Amino acid sequence: MVACLVLTIGAQYKVMNQKWILGSAMCEIWTSGDVLYCRASILHLVAIAVDRYCAVTNINYVQYRSPKKVGFMIVTVWSVSFLVSFAPILGWKDEEFLLGIQIEKT
């Protein structure tokens, strides 16, 4: 997902000599998507590491792990990633950063 949805627009940005031509809304969506997919990738690796650690240290862990628990872990990873990445779009923004963007436009 990172390669298909984030890096293609990032490559276009680099080719255009780091000038954003897609508008501010697309910039926010692209940035949020970048954070979403990268964060989800990292958290999935953490979940896999925790799962493997539990499997190695607890001999009965395989009996406790169920498809429902695995599904819960996946939903948790995507939910946390979504909340972190789309907070700026949902209204949680740094006013100093927004002021800096406005100053650069003028």
For the chain, 106 residues long, give each residue's pLDDT as a single digit of tens: 777 778 888 888 888 888 878 887 888 888 888 889 999 999 999 999 999 999 999 989 888 889 999 999 999 999 999 988 887 777 766 666 656 555 555 5
The pLDDT, as a whole number, for residue 105 is 56
| C-alpha–C-alpha distance, residues 99 and 101, integer Å | 5
| C-alpha–C-alpha distance, residues 77 and 43, integer Å | 6
The pLDDT, as a whole number, for residue 46 is 97
How does pLDDT run across 27-49, given as a tens digit for each residue? 888 888 888 999 999 999 999 99
Q: Residues with Cβ < 8 Å from 46, sequence gap 6 or more? A: none
pTM more than 0.85: no
Residue 41: which of 11, 10, 8, 5 has the closest Cα?
5
The pLDDT, as a whole number, for residue 94 is 67
Residue 42: which of 94, 84, 4 has the closest Cα?
84
